[in-house]
């Protein structure tokens, strides 16, 4: 293995890994217009150097990452409703661009500009599951519902 950097937020005591809460204002979604963005600047994170060390929550060094992702366009819209598993969602397959950077003491990486990035598959969507499973399709179809979900998710 030749990996020398693995930037991630680590493993929480609960066992949840590679996941971190971001400020609500870093995400912007216009589901009806099929656009979304995620902007993160100087997020404090760890560099675990390789995947094995990261999965073992081994030694790491402090680092910072920034990334700017833009989704837009519509290749197709998909609606899923799985009552057996209490899962429902509206999704847009689209295209995305990304620019990102990482830095730590003695090292810095900056990607090429976002306009030069390409991707094979991108999707943005609204999904609900378990106790948040919508009882009707109308609950899932409303653009206002999406904004309410995002606003409610900023607590805690």
Tens-digit pLDDT string for the chain (156 aa):
577 899 999 888 888 888 888 998 999 988 888 899 999 999 999 999 999 999 888 999 999 999 999 999 899 999 888 888 888 888 999 999 999 999 999 999 999 999 999 888 999 888 877 776 766 666 666 645 555 555 555 444
- The radius of gyration of the chain's CA atoms, rounded to the nearest angstrom, is 18
H and E: helices and strands count for the chain: 3, 7
pTM comes to 0.77
Query: DSSP letters of 121-150?
Result: -EEEEEEEEGGG--SSHHHHH-HHHHHHHH
Say if residues 92 and 34 touch (Cβ distance below 8 Å).
yes
**C-alpha of 70 from chain center:** 11
d(CA 18, CA 116): 27
CA-closest candidate to residue 96, choices 114, 70, 66, 115: 70
Which runs of consecutive H residues, i.e. helices, occur in 35-97? Answer: 51-55
């Amino acid at each position: 293995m030749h990996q020398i950097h693995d930037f991630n937020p680590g493993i929480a005591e609960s066992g949840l890994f590679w996941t971190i809460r971001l400020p609500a204002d870093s995400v912007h979604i216009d589901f009806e217009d099929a656009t979304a963005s995620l902007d993160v600047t100087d997020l404090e994170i760890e560099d675990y150097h390789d995947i094995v060390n990261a999965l073992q929550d081994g030694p790491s060094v402090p680092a910072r990452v920034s990334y700017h992702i833009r989704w837009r366009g519509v290749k197709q819209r998909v609606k899923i409703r799985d009552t057996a598993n209490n899962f429902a969602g509206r999704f847009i397959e689209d295209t995305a661009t990304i620019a990102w950077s990482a830095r730590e003491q003695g090292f810095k990486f900056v990607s090429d500009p976002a306009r030069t990035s390409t991707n094979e598959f991108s999707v943005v969507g609204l999904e609900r599951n378990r106790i948040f499973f919508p009882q009707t399709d109308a609950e899932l179809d409303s653009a206002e519902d999406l904004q309410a979900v995002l606003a409610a998710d900023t607590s805690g």
